[in-house]
Amino acid sequence: MALVVQKYGGTSVGTPDRIRNVARRVVDTVKAGHRVAVVVSAMSGETDALVALAHDIGGEHPEPREYDVLVATGEQKTIALLAMAIQQLGQPARSFTGAQMGMRTDTAHTRARIESIDHEVLLEVLDRGIVAVLAGFQGTDEAGNITTLGRGGSDTSAVAVAAALGADVCEIYTDVEGVFTTDPNLVAAARKLDRISYDEMIEMASLGAKVLQIRSVRFAMRYRVPLHVRSSFKLDEGTWVVPEEEMMEALVVSGVTYNRSEAKILVRGVQDVPGVAARLFTPLSNEGIVLDMIIQNLSRDGTTDVTFTVPRPDYARALEITRNTAAEMGAITVEADTEIAKVSIVGLGMKDHAGVASKMFQVLADEGINIQCISTSEIKVSVVIAEKYTELAVRALHAAFIEAGAAEPVPEA
């Protein structure tokens, strides 16, 4: 008998019929002999609608405490409805808001961090054969104020509950069948991965694969909670996200990801002296703008060029700030480009293989795609290219590294 935490996203509970479908899955899991806690999101579209209302009345920056009181109501609806649907099937169930399950967070409204969970309250209910239906996304701070964890936060709620309960697995039910080698909408040959390591999943999530909230994977990794990402509409196994030691074979490249939500800023002719990078980037970080890639060219005649990427929503502000700093520093020009994409390959097996990056560059060269920036880590290589080549690049890389697969191994390091 296992203790299973299941998390259902907005699409999975988007209509009364879908809620009844979830109830059946929950009851089937109980009938298979397991104790089950279920974490749910708001019905699809619900949180967006609540956020829109908050802005309608509260303006551009609604008061954060009241914002949280409002947006947390989406999940309160689903826990009640799902508990009813489970009870209709003859299975005892009880709903819990964040406060009722002792989901304690810090006080950072709209992006709170989980501090603790009252696992005894939940275990007591589970041990009596009752299904616990828990509101994701919400908690309360020390003073009892309602807090929320940030958009997409119910994944993190579910993993935190699984960690607190010492669950055997945290199943994340969604509208896709698992984690794919790349976006199936772009590449027909994309296939579902059976297993992926936490590290690979974190890279894939931060590089643009949208299956799981990245914070939840970090949390799962820290507490070693096995995740199983699967479809709420099918019975097939999905993708297991597990510790690296449990990867039977590490693929050199397990995924190709892309991200079209960054912009590039290039500062030409900066004096190449100590303190330049700090001077250029401090005003940006003071504004809370997070840079992704940073590249500094070799200097010629005592000056250098610096290129960096920022999230597109921050681009206009970043450009203005950079223009000001660059002028103060006597730089020659500031150029910018929003039509870029970051394309990456990710794989644990890269650690033990040489030649992966150069093969990637060759594949892109063969397609006539120019590489503007490169960054690497132990398990990924990312390049910035013109946005219009995104699909071509992703398809070519998927074909070369994943479809060709073992047929064309990269030489061992």
Binding mask 112-141 for ligand ASP (x = CB under 6 A): ------------------------xx----
Cα distance between residue 149 and residue 137, in whole Å: 5
Which residue of this chain has its Cβ atom nearest to Mg ion in the complex? 9
* Backbone torsions φ then ψ of 329, nearest 5 degrees: -90, -5
Cα distance between residue 365 and residue 358, in whole Å: 10
Report the residue from 4, 6, 10, 160 that binds ligand ASP according to the rule CB under 6 A: 10
Q: Which is closer to ligand ASP, CB of 9 or CB of 238?
A: 9
47 binding ligand ASP? (CB under 6 A):
yes
Q: Report the amino acid identity of residue 320.
A: E
Report the residue from 6, 29, 41, 140 that binds Mg ion according to the rule CB under 5 A: 41
Distance of CA 343 to the CA centre of its chain: 16
Q: Which stretch binds ligand ASP (CB under 6 A): 153-161, 332-340, 364-372, 393-401?
A: 153-161
Distance of CA 278 to the CA centre of its chain: 29
Q: Which does 151 bind (CB under 5 to 8 A by kind): ligand ASP, Mg ion, none?
A: ligand ASP
In contact, 319 and 280? CB cutoff 8 Å: no
64 binding ligand ASP? (CB under 6 A):
no
Q: Which does 153 bind (CB under 5 to 8 A by kind): ligand ASP, Mg ion, none?
A: ligand ASP
Least distance to ligand ASP from the beta carbon of 247, Å? 27
> Any idea what the Cα angle at residue 226 is, between residues 113 and 82, rounded to 5°?
70
111 binding ligand ASP? (CB under 6 A):
no
> By C-alpha distance, which of 263, 277, 242, 254 is closest to 351?
254
Q: Three-state DSSP class for 32?
A: coil
98 binding ligand ASP? (CB under 6 A):
no
Please list every residue from 154 through 183 that binds ligand ASP, using CB under 6 A: 154-155
Q: Report the amino acid identity of residue 204.
A: M
Report the residue from 7, 8, 9, 114 that binds Mg ion according to the rule CB under 5 A: 9
Q: Which stretch binds ligand ASP (CB under 6 A): 152-160, 193-201, 353-361, 390-398?
A: 152-160
Would you list the DSSP string of 323-390?
HHHHHHHT-SEEEEE--EEEEEEE-GGGGGBSSHHHHHHHHHHHTTPPP-EEEEETTEEEEEEEGGGH
Residues of the shown chain interacting with ligand ASP in the complex, contacts defined by CB under 6 A: 9-10, 41-42, 47, 74, 136-137, 151-155
Residues that bind Mg ion (CB under 5 A): 9-10, 41
